[in-house]
A and B are shown apart, each in its own frame.
Chain A
């Protein structure tokens, strides 16, 4: 996600840029299952035992079905250790998780960026919303974000393409929770093109065809990914050299120059070790992978890991908190359905600890969900068989509606990653150890996340409300891990400055989720994009001034 943005911005500003990716090459259009009909997917597109054996962590998400499993890493070949269970979900290929992401794109708000300072949690954000807003505008315009102008102060509007529509039942739910509880429900803001882009820089991208198979890769380029959008732009400049299968495992630090001079790389296919050199280095490997590279870069200047004067590198690891999903059956609306497959749902923005609301915990959460007509699964509990079952199937099942929550996890020094040198991966590299648990604030919030969902479904008068108590959340499962090299004003308590530069080594920028001083509860990718574009602009400007 962030790597593609760094490549685009740096190359467009005239820098000859080497892009190193540890995974295999993927070019736009190279999505093997993108147009595969459902009957051509083996095993009814269920996760196979073989996938479970090779990818025991990745399958915790439920995503690596035959249609998608090639985008998820082989856990046996790419081990890490868990002092406490942490679901590290990875895609080692060019484009990374920007190919599989859920495309929900929300801005952080002034409230989110001010919370640490106000509450004395973690370190204050060194960036204000006003500084960030033009960069949100910039990345939204290029990426193409569909959304409605909702006028919610705590979820700022952006430069949107037209919103997708809520269906009849979602509109009913929207009205009822607004009337009865004063809560808002909006159509998801998603990086799918609902209209032509407002620029002509991405001729390879067409509008959304409502197939809802985004995770397989979109041959229309209708959703934003590094592969569909930023890397083609970078390539067109003629300034990019992209090398796949290059595992960056260490930054090279030159004591005399006081700078990083390059990176050490292992070729994933041959094992050959090479050093690559550059004036400016952007680490965009994803939070935990960048953390690994920095922790693994030990020198006399940085004995505890690259840029780790503060001792905070690897610490303050967060994700987005989930609670069991809640769903209900909606009576009525039996004579309507929908056609097309909307690659999006609705969003209930955070309302807890907003305005006069005051809870026993800090921060809050939002919900995502959708209303749909139930399918064949509804027969699992029935005794219908035979012609009766087939007849019953001819009409769509009752409407159901679900709420799935994403809450903020507070940064905590104790939640951290370190290098486990007792184990080696197949390349001979040590592995990452992750140790993060939910703490008091999260556990209190989780209760509200379930109770509020039930409350909303009850207020709407829906029936058969079910809490999916089987949804057990462990950190990492939201795939929003962030914060392990946080930014801040003070080099004594943070790793990066407000420009995503390593405090102690200004020619190294880290622009994946690592920099997040707090995570708010919104899906984070849009924020990574904005910070990356901003950091690249700063890097080029500093380079021109001779400051790097």
Chain B
């Protein structure tokens, strides 16, 4: 693979691979790298082997779809482009104690059970139906008991965190200036490029 002249798609994969590398503590073996790459290109399809840390491949497939519904590809990259599914898996592994992780897993199972009960398994639905189901689950969760945080709210929070801390999520949606050199206290938005300044 020529790292200097690869396509935007490959750049994205390389980014995810690099990200995966440091998440795994630096070195990443070739087979594991391949799995990550395959995962990134096809992680929505059940059965594809993905190097997950906490979620099973099947679970990650569902989480990836929910994340993409939360943050779809529009004129800017979507959750999958930004590596959010891998981020969520990694975050569950590294940021939560075991009971919280288990609760997430149980919540995910409940989500799928509810989808089946209301007609069709989540991943077998048409895209619009999936989005409707995610939205209605979210609305119900917002109206109900919020502590401990329901699965769908955890997933949205992790999706937003993963996306807006990713390279594409930041650079495509915000003005990220590594070294601003100056502080301008009151700037009309009309004079800014992107209106959201990374801080």
Chain B residues, CB < 8 A from A354: none
Please, which residues of chain B bring their CB within 8 A of the CB of A164? Answer: 183
Q: Please indicate the chain B residues that have their CB under 8 angstroms from the CB of A375 in the complex.
A: 196, 199
> Does A265 count as interface, using CB distance less than 8 angstroms?
no
Minimum CB–CB distance for A180 against chain B, Å: 22
Say yes or no: is B10 at the interface (Cβ < 8 Å to chain A): no
Complex CA distance for A372 and B185, rounded to whole angstroms: 10
- Chain A residues with CB under 8 Å of B178's CB are 35, 37, 211
User: Across the interface, do B95 and A43 meet the contact criterion of CB distance under 8 Å?
Assistant: yes
CA distance A39 to B166 in the complex (A): 5
Q: Could you tell me the distance in whole angstroms from the C-beta of B44 to the nearest C-beta in chain A?
A: 17
Given contacts A49-B96, A209-B180, A395-B195, A389 and B91 within 8 Å (CB-CB)? no
Contact of A337 with B by CB under 8 A:
yes
- The stretch from B1-9, B27-35, B71-79, B108-116 touching chain A is B71-79
Check if A394 is an interface residue, CB within 8 A of chain B.
yes
> In the complex the two chains form, is A380's CB within 8 Å of B157's CB?
yes
Output the least CB separation between B131 and chain A (Å): 6
Whether B91 and A336, one on each chain, are in contact in the complex, defined by CB atoms closer than 8 angstroms, is: no
A386 within 8 A of B: yes
Q: How far is the CA of A50 from the CA of B95 in the complex (A)?
A: 8
Q: Is A199 an interface residue (CB 8 A)?
A: no
Which residues, 44 to 91 on A, are CB-close (under 8 Å) to B?
44-50
**A394 contacts B139, C-beta separation under 8 Å:** no
Q: How far is the CB of B147 from chain A (nearest CB, A)?
A: 11
Contact between B164 and A210, CB atoms less than 8 A apart? no
Q: Is B90 an interface residue (CB 8 A)?
A: yes
Say if the beta carbon of B23 comes within 8 Å of chain A. Answer: yes
Interface flag for B123 (CB, 8 Å): no
**Residue on B nearest A343 in the bound complex, by CB:** B183
* B95 in complex: contacting residue of A40, A49, A336, CB < 8 Å: A49
Contact A338 B185 (CB under 8 A): yes
Interface residues on chain B, number (Cβ under 8 Å) = 58
Give chain B nearest CB distance to A65 CB in angstroms. Answer: 11
- Is B156 in contact with A338, judged by CB distance below 8 angstroms? no
B94 within 8 A of A: yes
Given A39-B165, A211-B178, A385-B135, A339–B95 Cβ distance below 8 Å?
no
**Cα distance A37–B166 in the bound complex, in angstroms:** 10
Contacts known (A35-B178, A341-B199, A395-B195); A41 close to B184, Cβ less than 8 A: no
CB contacts (< 8 Å) of A387 on chain B: these are: 72, 74
Task: Say whether B134 faces chain A, with CB atoms less than 8 Å apart.
Answer: yes
- In the complex, the answer to whether A42 meets B22 with C-beta atoms within 8 Å is yes
A48 and B165 within 8 A (CB): no
- Among residues 11 to 48 in chain B, which have CB atoms less than 8 Å away from a CB atom of chain A? 19, 22-23
30 contacts between A and B (CB under 8 A): A38-B198, A39-B19, A39-B166, A39-B170, A41-B165, A43-B90, A43-B94, A45-B165, A165-B183, A165-B186, A166-B185, A170-B185, A211-B180, A335-B190, A338-B183, A339-B175, A339-B180, A340-B180, A340-B181, A342-B185, A375-B199, A376-B164, A380-B153, A385-B69, A385-B156, A386-B70, A387-B72, A390-B71, A390-B72, A393-B173
Using A43-B94, A339-B177 as known contacts, list a sample of 19 further A-B pairs with CB atoms less than 8 Å apart, ordered by residue number in A: A38-B176, A39-B166, A39-B170, A44-B91, A44-B161, A45-B165, A46-B91, A49-B95, A167-B185, A167-B186, A171-B186, A209-B179, A210-B182, A336-B187, A383-B135, A385-B70, A386-B131, A393-B196, A396-B195
Where the two chains meet, the residues of A that have a C-beta atom closer than 8 Å to any C-beta of B are 35, 37-50, 164-168, 170-171, 209-212, 335-342, 372, 375-376, 379-381, 383, 385-387, 389-391, 393-396
| Interface residues of B, Cβ cutoff 8 Å to A | 19, 22-23, 69-72, 74, 76, 87, 90-91, 94-97, 131, 134-135, 138-139, 142, 153, 156-157, 160-162, 164-167, 169-170, 173, 175-190, 192, 194-199
